[in-house]
Amino acid sequence: MSSAPLLELSGVDLSYGPYRALFGVSFTVSARAAVALVGSNGSGKTSVARVVSGLVRARAGSIRFDGRDVTRWPAWRIARAGLVHVPEGRSVLGSLTVEENLLLGLEGLAGRHGGAGALERAYSMFPRLSDRRRQLAGTLSGGEQRMLALGRAVAVPEQLLVVDELSLGLSPTVVDEIFSGLREILASGTSLLVIEQHVERVLALAERVVVLAHGRVAGEGPAGELAGVLSSLRPSPGRPEPPTSAAGGGLA
């Protein structure tokens, strides 16, 4: 059991209607480990997160989580099995208050965990939230919203946390706060799958890196070894983009 990976994607294909986004993506995340998922814009990182959490369904291939085949599971079932996905962009329910956002997660996750203690864990990691318990989440600033979304993962220590570009548009100090939150979550025993454009920052956090390009895994390995691959993937002004696949025409 302990040797089997916590999350395992094998040969996952995904399309949005006629547009194909992922082509045979395979990689694994071990228990208590952090994996960084990097790649240029439109390479399919968000799509991987969505397919893992059950928001969209894979067209082919399989996804195993915690020893079970979750490929066809609905999102709520995967969430209850212990996977928290903090999606890209707005990641809280704006019409609920801060506290209600946290409670919703607790209730949905079958109430295995003590309610009051869970809230306090979230508030002590992000004190700014505790001053705003009754504020509508939609009126929080962008950074506070990310903190709230992370707070959910802190409140209930789950098995795997998938975060998608948490640092987008945030000031450096807030990014620091969020990354130290991530580090704490990792230390508490939760595995991480981190999608991030701040490659240096995420390499300091994650031991393994998966590189996506054009919907395919272009490289995978320990964080230290992949620096070369990463720099070759970064599009530079002089070099033309590699040709896009003809299938569906939507993929870049």
Ligand X SMILES: Nc1ncnc2c1ncn2[C@@H]1O[C@H](COP(=O)(O)OP(=O)(O)OP(=O)(O)O)[C@@H](O)[C@H]1O
The residues that touch another protein, with contacts defined as CB under 8 A, are 15-19, 46, 50, 53-56, 74-76, 79-80, 84-85, 87, 89-96, 100, 103-105, 107-110, 152
Residues of this chain, 12-71, that bind ligand X according to CB under 6 A: 16, 19, 21, 39, 41-47
Which amino acid is residue 48, in one-letter code? V
**How far apart, in whole angstroms, are the C-alpha atoms of residue 67 and residue 126?**
33
Applying CB under 5 A, among 27, 29, 43, 46 the residue interacting with Mg ion is: 46
- Sign of the Cα torsion 159, 10, 91, 38 reads positive
> Which DSSP state fits 4?
S
> Which DSSP state fits 167?
T
Closest residue to ligand X, based on beta-carbon distance: 46
Query: Considering beta carbons, is residue 99 or 165 the nearer one to ligand X?
Result: 165
3-state secondary structure of 169: coil
Task: Please state the closest distance from residue 176 (CB atom) to another protein, in A.
Answer: 25
Burial class (CB in 10 A: 0-12, 13-18, 19+), 130: middle
3-state secondary structure of 141: coil
For residue 112 the two structure tokens come to 């295995």
Residues of this chain, 76-105, that bind Mg ion according to CB under 5 A: 88
> If binding is defined by CB under 5 A, does position 71 make contact with Mg ion?
no
Query: Considering beta carbons, is residue 104 or 252 the nearer one to ligand X?
Result: 252
Residues that bind Mg ion (CB under 5 A): 46, 88
Residues that bind ligand X (CB under 6 A): 16, 19, 21, 39, 41-47, 250-252
